[in-house]
Chain A
Amino acid sequence: MSSEVLRVSNLRKRFNDLLVIDSISFSIKSGEFFCILGPSGCGKTTLLRIIAGFEDYEGEVLLKGEKIKKPGPDRVLVFQDYALFPWRTVIGNVLFGIESKLQKREALKVAEEMLKLVGLEGFEKSYPHELSGGMKQRVALARALVCDPAILLMDEPLSALDAQTRMEMQAELVKIWQRTKKTIVYVTHSIEEAVFLADRILVLSKRPARAKALVEVKLERPRNRFDAKFTEISQKIYDLLKD
């Protein structure tokens, strides 16, 4: 029985007159890989930004019992387009969140270990524009992980990658998640990706987003995309999204 990290209840969000999120409730357990799945434009990014602390909202969003009011390193958001600082090297980017909190040598050690974990040893001194999309995403992931957040928020982090790299990164993300035991909230609009990654999947409706279902994926990891059970769950979610 793991403990609850995040609780969202009766969450509503409007931009002026546009209702984007309509009374959503769910909670996330510690160490869980939680996917949010929904059609394009339904409000997934908005939901993630609310948890990150960038948007105001109606209702309740509690992190370990405390209301979320502003952004902070206990909930690091990984942006879809990486948003690496182009004026910093790879190691400089990873150091950003810890250099003022840890001693220089210790910070460097933590950052280098994290780069090893995401498979970027030897690229410490490269600048972001010298990296491929997959490598940039790894840097963004390492930069978030060194802050040791209670929740890692990821907004379609792999959607800009080609299919091959994307599948490799998914497998690697699962490994990193297993090793770091982080709670991950992962937004995607790909059913296959959600089923491959998640412990549970929150399926959202078209805008305004409502919770359609909460699907539990009880498959062993590493998962096989061609497994009968895998396709069965995918089919079920597909039907859910359709109507």
Chain B
Amino acid sequence: MKLRIFYVSISVSIFLIFWETFYYFFIRDPFLLAPPSKVIPTFVKLITLQDPSFKMPVDIVFSLYHYALGFSSALIIGISLGLLMGFSRTLENLLSPIVELIRPIPPIAWIPISILLLKLTHTAAGFIIFIGSFFPILLNTRHGVASVEKKFVEVALTLGASRFEILRKVIIPASMPSIFTGIRVGSGVAWMCVVAAELFGVSAYGLGYQIEIARLYHAPEIVISYMVCIGLVGYALDNVYKFLASRFLRWRRGLVVE
């Protein structure tokens, strides 16, 4: 642990020094870029609500709201549909052509239609985030179900399990590692989509929205502060799922090298 802190501080320091020197040697224009010596105080000011026009904590709340809106629906629909598609041949054959056709469309390409249809609302942002995170969750769940070893299903059958019990007691737990992979990948994409969706001004708050406003103000130190904030929140979110996965997948310890 101590060693880890040591490495983190070394690598962050090197990066900051590099950035600072780069600014003073090549840019030297406060309207184009800001050095860390300016970004760090700005970030502290923003996060402690000391700026009159940029309220970072409020923006975090709004972005998390958009994220929750889109990501939770992607979770519910993606996991259930993935389970059903993995479980039933017919449904798989019926749905996979649609999935394969829609999946390659980038979430960002959905923004115009989403705004036309849902106007500039939180739901419009949620929809973009849903599109982005739905497919990784669906595909990983389906893959998990498809790769459940046949022998586990046979053991359950010989022990007298019903079809529903097989789903609940074999298919779902056996697919859990794969589902969690889908959740983590999906959450990452969802968080990227939050920024993209908010850029278009679906609401007057949100990290993605403010980053664009700050650009219009020609305030790179605020833009970068928001970038840092987006990175930190995304990192925290991923760690939440990592923690949940390690709790739920305790049985995998000793089976795989993490």
Chain B residues with Cβ below 8 Å from A37 are none
A77 CA to B156 CA, complexed, in Å: 10
Task: Name A's interface SS.
Answer: loop
Minimum distance in angstroms from B250 CB to a CB of chain A: 8
Minimum distance in angstroms from B174 CB to a CB of chain A: 7
18 contacting pairs across A/B (C-beta < 8 A): A52-B158, A53-B157, A53-B158, A71-B158, A73-B159, A73-B160, A75-B158, A76-B159, A77-B158, A79-B151, A81-B151, A86-B255, A88-B173, A96-B159, A127-B254, A129-B255, A143-B159, A147-B159
Minimum distance in angstroms from A102 CB to a CB of chain B: 12
Minimum distance in angstroms from B73 CB to a CB of chain A: 27
B170 contacts partner chain A, Cβ-Cβ < 8 Å: yes
Asked whether, in the complex, the Cβ of A76 is within 8 Å of the Cβ of B158, the reply is: yes
A19 contacts partner chain B, Cβ-Cβ < 8 Å: no
Asked whether, in the complex, the Cβ of A85 is within 8 Å of the Cβ of B152, the reply is: yes
Chain A residues with Cβ below 8 Å from B174 are 85, 87
**In B101-160, which residues have CB < 8 Å from any A CB?**
151-152, 154-160
The contact of A127 among B160, B173, B176, B251, by CB within 8 Å, is B251
**In A114-138, which residues have CB < 8 Å from any B CB?**
127, 129-130
Which residues of A approach B to under 8 Å, CB–CB? Answer: 52-54, 70-73, 75-77, 79, 81, 83, 85-88, 96-97, 100-101, 127, 129-130, 143-144, 147
Minimum distance in angstroms from B173 CB to a CB of chain A: 4
Chain A residues with Cβ below 8 Å from B155 are 77, 79, 83, 85
Asked whether, in the complex, the Cβ of A87 is within 8 Å of the Cβ of B176, the reply is: yes
B38 contacts partner chain A, Cβ-Cβ < 8 Å: no
B169 contacts partner chain A, Cβ-Cβ < 8 Å: yes
Chain B residues with Cβ below 8 Å from A127 are 250-251, 254
**In B154-183, which residues have CB < 8 Å from any A CB?**
154-161, 165, 169-170, 173-174, 176
Asked whether, in the complex, the Cβ of A87 is within 8 Å of the Cβ of B173, the reply is: yes
Minimum distance in angstroms from A63 CB to a CB of chain B: 13
Minimum distance in angstroms from B158 CB to a CB of chain A: 5
Asked whether, in the complex, the Cβ of A87 is within 8 Å of the Cβ of B251, the reply is: yes
A63 CA to B137 CA, complexed, in Å: 45
Residue of B with least CB distance to A146: B159
Residue of B with least CB distance to A84: B155
Known: A100-B165, A127-B251, A127-B254. A85 touches B157 (CB 8 A): no
The 9 residue pairs across chains A and B that have the minimum distance between CB atoms: A73-B160, A97-B159, A71-B157, A87-B173, A87-B251, A77-B158, A83-B151, A129-B254, A83-B155
Asked whether, in the complex, the Cβ of A72 is within 8 Å of the Cβ of B160, the reply is: yes
A205 CA to B165 CA, complexed, in Å: 40
